[in-house]
């Protein structure tokens, strides 16, 4: 009995000791960056394998919007992790290494020169076939080859653990999202001037959506928060918001979560809008002076706001 009790005490002590070590060294917090990323101790960070192929430039941007970088074999450890991930693959995946700006001068997203990387070339590579191959891919056997950046390939995004990845009340480690308790949503203003499509991609990648206005209150809130934010776009009057009209007959405006605009809770158009100037205005924008919606070309460059809903909508 005493022996059993002693063993139990020893077990409890060991468990507590391990827990203490985990808390001290942050081992318990591995899942804290993003739910769609997996912590990999050998990589000292989180990795997401993107199975939906994309051209290199899109892949780089996708990782960036996710708060990560397009992964490269910048050291032995990361190269080993990447080779391991490729074992079950049938086709090559992009790495973050490219020579887009200078033929043959390869550099990773982190700015590390290929000469510093411990890679093994595939047979006959690099060959810059027809002077068209500026991006490096890793093959299922772990070797590296140069390949067309425009081709679509799978890829890996990598986030190095820095200890600053705490998830906020907005459910993200992105500190630029701030909660408004009155609407129950978190918002992030992007001053970048991008197309509606790019804004939509950025918000989705960040774990939210291009803002959907659900009330007069929310429209007013956005204008109060962001009307005076400095932007460098050629067009200063509007921001992209989350609705569009994808049909040529312009009969239907849909929010990015698939509902009819009039069912979202706010569908006030500014005076004389929507006016579909030159038949090109298929995307939603909000006037920054709180006058309501405007239809605007999807391919025009505007700033935008992303939304992550946290609580049930109150306003």
Q: Binding residues for Ca ion, per CB under 5 A?
A: 125, 127, 129, 133, 145-146, 212, 214, 273, 275, 281, 294-295
C-alpha–C-alpha distance, residues 112 and 72, integer Å: 9
Cβ proximity to Ca ion, 174 vs 300, nearer residue: 300
Beta bridge partners of 38: 47
Residue 129 CB, nearest distance to Ca ion (Å)? Answer: 5
Letter string b/e over residues 153-184, b meaning 16 or more CB atoms within 10 A of that residue's CB: bbbbbbbebeeebeeeebbbbbeebebbeebe
Q: How far is the CB of 297 from Ca ion (least distance, A)?
A: 9
Is residue 119 within 8 Å of residue 79, measured between CB atoms? yes
Nearest to 308 by CA among 204, 185, 201, 174: 185
- Compare residues 146 and 206 and give the one whose CB is closer to Ca ion: 146
Contact between 32 and 167 under an 8 Å Cβ cutoff? The reply is yes
Using the minimum distance from each CB to Ca ion, give the nearer residue, 70 or 203: 203
Residue 72 Cβ, how far from Ca ion at the closest point, in Å? 17
CB-nearer residue toward Ca ion: 157 or 264: 264
When the beta carbons of 125 and 174 are compared against Ca ion, the nearer one is 125
Q: First and final CA of the chain: distance in angstroms?
A: 62
Main-chain dihedrals φ then ψ at residue 174, nearest 5 degrees: -80, 110
Tokens 């579909």 correspond to what residue? 276
Cβ atoms within 10 Å of 37's Cβ, excluding its own: 22
Tell me how many degrees the CA angle 199-256-240 measures, rounded to the nearest 5: 35
Nearest distance in Å: CB 64, Ca ion: 25
Q: Which CB atom, from 146 or from 174, has the smaller least distance to Ca ion?
A: 146
Q: Give least dist CB 43 to Ca ion, A.
A: 26
In the complex, minimum distance from the CB of residue 218 to Ca ion, in angstroms, rounded to a whole number? 5
């Amino acid at each position: 009995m005493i022996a059993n009790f002693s063993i139990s005490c020893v077990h409890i002590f060991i468990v507590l000791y391990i827990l203490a070590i985990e808390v001290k060294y942050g081992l318990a917090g591995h899942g804290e960056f993003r739910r769609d990323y997996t912590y990999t101790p050998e990589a000292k960070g989180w990795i997401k394998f993107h199975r939906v192929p994309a051209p290199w430039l899109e892949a780089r941007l996708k990782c960036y919007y996710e708060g990560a970088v397009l992964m490269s074999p910048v050291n032995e450890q990361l190269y080993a992790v990447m080779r391991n991930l490729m074992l079950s693959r049938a086709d090559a995946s992009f790495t973050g290494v490219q020579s887009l700006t200078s033929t043959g001068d390869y550099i990773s997203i982190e700015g590390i020169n290929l000469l510093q990387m411990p890679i093994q070339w595939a047979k006959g590579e690099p060959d810059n076939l027809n002077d068209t191959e500026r991006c490096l891919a890793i093959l299922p056997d772990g070797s590296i080859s140069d390949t067309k950046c425009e081709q679509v390939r799978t890829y890996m995004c990598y986030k190095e653990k820095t200890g600053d990845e705490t998830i906020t009340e907005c459910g993200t480690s992105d500190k630029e999202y701030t909660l408004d308790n009155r609407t129950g949503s978190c918002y992030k203003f992007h001053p970048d001037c991008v197309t509606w499509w790019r804004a939509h991609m950025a918000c989705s990648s960040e774990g939210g959506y291009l803002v959907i206005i659900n009330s007069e209150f929310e429209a007013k809130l956005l204008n109060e928060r962001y009307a005076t934010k400095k932007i460098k776009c050629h067009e200063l009057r509007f921001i992209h918001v989350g609705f569009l009209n994808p049909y040529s007959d312009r009969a239907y405006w849909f929010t990015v979560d698939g509902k009819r605009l009039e069912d979202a809770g706010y569908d006030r158009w500014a005076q004389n809008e929507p006016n579909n100037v030159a038949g090109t205005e298929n995307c939603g924008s909000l006037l920054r002076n709180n006058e309501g919606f405007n239809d605007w070309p999807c391919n025009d460059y505007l700033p935008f706001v992303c939304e992550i809903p946290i609580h049930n909508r109150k306003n």
